[in-house]
Structure 1
Amino acid sequence: MIDPGARYTTGRRFHCRCGYSGRIWKAGGMRWEPILVERTVPGRREIGPPTEHELTIAADTTWPRQRRLPMIAPGTETAVLHRYGMTRWDQVMPRRQHAVIDALVDKIDSVVTGDTAVASTLYAAVLGSVEMAGYLSRWDARYLKAYEAIANHRYNVATLSAEPNVWGAPQSGRGTVGRRLAHLAKAGNWYAERLGRAPHVVGPLPAEQRRSNGSRTVDVRVVIGSSTRLLATDNSIDLVCTDPPYHDDVKYGELSEIFRAWAGLDTARVDGEAVVSHATLVDTDAYEATLTRAFREMRRALKPNGHLVLSYANRDPAAWAALFSALQAAGFTAIGFQVVHAENDIDHAKAHRRACNLDLILDLVTAADHALEKFIAHGPQVRTEEEDFCHAVGKIALQIGSLDGAWREKLQRTVARHPFVTRGRAMTQTDREPND
């Protein structure tokens, strides 16, 4: 029996009944043993100890050895994988899970009858499931489900992990291939019903090619490349929705390696990333310059009455200052903001930690030469510290387009001195480490 509220491996340490205590990754080779199985039938789900048959089919010896995937390059986020002895990407999941994914990939070309668009969609569904890597997934305290390997934008190895059913069980399977295909079909059917025909999709197209409005017969154009160059022509877009890189919070290149390895793409470190991990000093000037180039390109492509809507969250004063400066330098004017709830407080990996549970949504326009009515979504009168923080930053954001004088200093004081930030800064390193 366990206490669901207890933390048995705080700071990634384990404690033996004999009195020995140590770091998990220094304890030698890890041995994975199935201890619980979820079974589903129509209308019912149950969790119980595995049967002898289930133990047999879960064993690596039951499944043929699979192809070797590229080496896991040492890095800030991949260091935890190396600590647990994982040196190649095929080592992050049980052999059974690997075998089923390979079998699904092998079936794709034989079922698409030469339709490259359908093939690409099927590859995306199958290869996207590798984020549910069995040896990396975490058990969520609130939901009985497998949890993504890169949740919280960090690779994590847990003492209680979940190997998902790759295809999916009838009553469950968040993130499984079957569920992904069902939602892809649902989205496609929704669009086709509103168009009265199948949507015409082109791409992915390289962002470097000549700009054009595209054909009138094309409903969706997918472009791959940097946001500092859009394929859209001048004054042609009604709305841009974006979630810009969060300063130094996420090491996007390392987190994408698990997908690139399975897709057979180059797994070398991505050069020229806009963002680095929190463990590395970030060049804020370069970050701001990159955002400015991207926002200027968005402004060029927006119609005179177009809108830029973006979501942002951070505790770093420099991050907010860089964002606001880039938006103003690109010629945008803020007309409103909304504070919305993120999912972090119901995410076991982030709950009770330094993660932001709210996002600030900004609405900006290019019409800076005439008076604009500005709006604030006020919400409840009694606010949490984080809600108050977001509203304080949002009110300064409404000055984007007319920021002048010592606005940076004012913004940085507002952020740096707010209790939501100072209280979080006082947390110890042990408090910030995820618990298994």
Structure 2
Amino acid sequence: MFAVETIAKTDDRRVVPICHRVFRRATDEDRQQFKAASVALAKGLADGTLALPQDPIEADGWSDNRLVAYGYRRWIELFNDRQLLHLALLMKEVSALEEPVRTSIAMAFSDHLTTNCMMASYAHGWRRLTPLFSVRAFRHIQRPVELNPWVERTGRGSFPNTVRKLGQAAAYARAPKEPTVDGEFVPVALRVPKQHGTIHLGSARSLKFLANASVDVVMTDPPYFDNIAYSELAQFFTPWLSALGVINSLPRDQVTTESLVARKHQPQSVQHYISGLGEAFAEIERVLRPKGIVAFSYRHTEAPAWLALAEAIVATGLHITRVLPMPGEVGMGLHGQGERGLWDAIFMLRRGRRATDPELYVSEQDITAAEAAVAGWRERYGTLSIPFNAIDAVALKRAFLVGQALAKGKKGGVKNRITLKQALR
């Protein structure tokens, strides 16, 4: 604990301007308060008035083993004693709430965890706390930031602010608004559905709760090969939500088996990704109506990821009708820094294709068309505030080639054809 940020007091509870915020060294009183929190936590755990999840970090088989390499063995080790005291007290109160309030507040509690842990850092450029998963990985933070968890308005990720976010979402649902081209928001009519929606928790590889040819539109966001192992990152929340009774912990082997994360240097892992994604697309084809449409986004900087996507789709009766670019990041924050791709490829698919040739290939004309399409996109979008850079150009060219290889009507015998694997390189 090397410094404490203090903010000037205001009588009207307005957000304090950054220019009025100062830093001071931690005092003996600050250190005594921290020690007192440690004593209170130990006493509460010893006499049973407080409880914390004790789940171990089971990282065997993970694509990213940094967390255990840092020396962490239990999930609560990612928090200091004062944070754990706060979370234990808060969890005790949340557990006593009646449904459906308890589950709703537990969502705010879950959001609060990423800003109230020792993997929260300080973003000097924005002068504010940067939560865990601002970069989608477990990063080692040399100087963690601890916030006041109860401050309102000012304070990114404090508990009152996470609750307020839920309130804002509920208010929008009751009175929706849409943006206009001049940056304003205008009210829109509230649409009341004729029947209630249904949320189903399960694997996309088994949509047995849906009848054949019963779905008009499928919008999905498949795993991006080895980019983000969501199943690994999500384990951070599991012990807490399980202790609150909101979720049931899945068996670890089930999580590992059903998670689609490819490790490009492990052929068996890549094949698991391709076959699993292929099963999901096959189920999508089954439930899609004859004139239905599928839309999904995809992004990666390396050729094997695009080939794996194509190989997952080729065994189905789906064909790609359109490939379009769309910003995948807002151009701000840690994910927007440096030379990295910020644009996704959006794929549109329909039913009606049966491969007459199992090999994926493109023609020289397809490659020329891909280069022309990317040049056009770059000319059109290259001056936007979200950069359309050389990395995006390469990725979107590969996306276009995947679209060409999986277009309807591809037949064998085309002269000068090139395997998709070669073209993607």
TM normalised by structure 1 equals 0.70
Instruction: Write the letter of the residue equivalent to 1:43.
Output: V
The farther-off stretch of 273-282 and 184-193 is: 273-282
Of 103, 107, 110 in structure 2, the residue corresponding to residue 120 of structure 1 is 103
1:299-354 residue CA offsets vs partner (Å, 9 max, x unmatched): 2222333221111111232221221232343222222222223338533367336x
**How far apart, in 1, do the equivalents of 2:329 and 2:109 lie?**
25
Instruction: Write the letter of the residue equivalent to 2:407.
Output: G
Q: Which residue of 1 aligns with 2:390?
A: 385
Q: Which residue of 2 aligns with 1:263?
A: 241
Mapping for residues 363-382 of structure 1, pairs under 5 Å: 363-366=348-351, 378-381=376-379
**How far apart, in 2, do the equivalents of 1:247 and 1:120 lie?**
32
Q: Which residue of 1 aligns with 2:119?
A: 136
Instruction: Write the letter of the residue equivalent to 1:366.
Output: R
Mapping for residues 172-211 of structure 1, pairs under 5 Å: 172-173=155-156, 175-193=157-175
Matched residue count: 359
> Percentage identity across aligned positions?
17
Compared CA separation, residues 336 and 108, structure 1 to 2 (3 A): same
Contact kept? 1:142, 1:348, Cα under 8 Å: no
Mapping for residues 324-403 of structure 1, pairs under 5 Å: 324-343=310-329, 346-348=332-334, 351-352=337-338, 355-366=340-351, 378-381=376-379, 384-399=389-404, 400-402=406-408, 403=410
- SS of the aligned residue for 2:240 comes to helix
Deviation at 1:244, TM superposition (A): 0.7
Compared CA separation, residues 74 and 380, structure 1 to 2 (3 A): closer
Unmatched 5+ residue regions in structure 2?
A: 46-51, 177-187, 243-248, 355-372, 383-387
Q: Which residue of 1 aligns with 2:370?
A: none
Instruction: Write the letter of the residue equivalent to 2:344.
Output: D
| Higher RCO structure, 1 or 2 (CA under 8 Å, sep 6+) | 1
Deviation at 1:225, TM superposition (A): 0.8
Compared CA separation, residues 64 and 109, structure 1 to 2 (3 A): closer
Q: Which residue of 2 aligns with 1:43?
A: 15
- SS of the aligned residue for 1:183 comes to helix
Query: In the alignment, is residue 98 of structure 1 matched against residue 84 of structure 2?
Result: yes
Query: In the alignment, is residue 89 of structure 1 matched against residue 75 of structure 2?
Result: yes
Deviation at 1:119, TM superposition (A): 2.0
Query: In the alignment, is residue 234 of structure 1 matched against residue 212 of structure 2?
Result: yes
1:340-384 residue CA offsets vs partner (Å, 9 max, x unmatched): 23338533367336x532211112222559xxxxxx794342663
Deviation at 1:47, TM superposition (A): 4.1
Contact kept? 2:152, 2:161, Cα under 8 Å: no
Compared CA separation, residues 169 and 223, structure 1 to 2 (3 A): same
Instruction: Write the letter of the residue equivalent to 1:73.
Output: E
Q: Which residue of 1 aligns with 2:180?
A: none
Contact kept? 1:250, 1:276, Cα under 8 Å: no
**How far apart, in 1, do the equivalents of 2:240 and 2:264 lie?**
27
**How far apart, in 1, do the equivalents of 2:15 and 2:71 lie?**
40
Query: In the alignment, is residue 413 of structure 1 matched against residue 422 of structure 2?
Result: yes
Deviation at 1:227, TM superposition (A): 0.3
**How far apart, in 2, do the equivalents of 1:121 and 1:312 lie?**
31
Deviation at 1:78, TM superposition (A): 6.7
Give the CA RMSD over aligned residues: 3.6
Unmatched 5+ residue regions in structure 1?
A: 1-32, 201-215, 370-375, 417-436
Q: Which residue of 1 aligns with 2:185?
A: none
Contact kept? 2:78, 2:117, Cα under 8 Å: yes
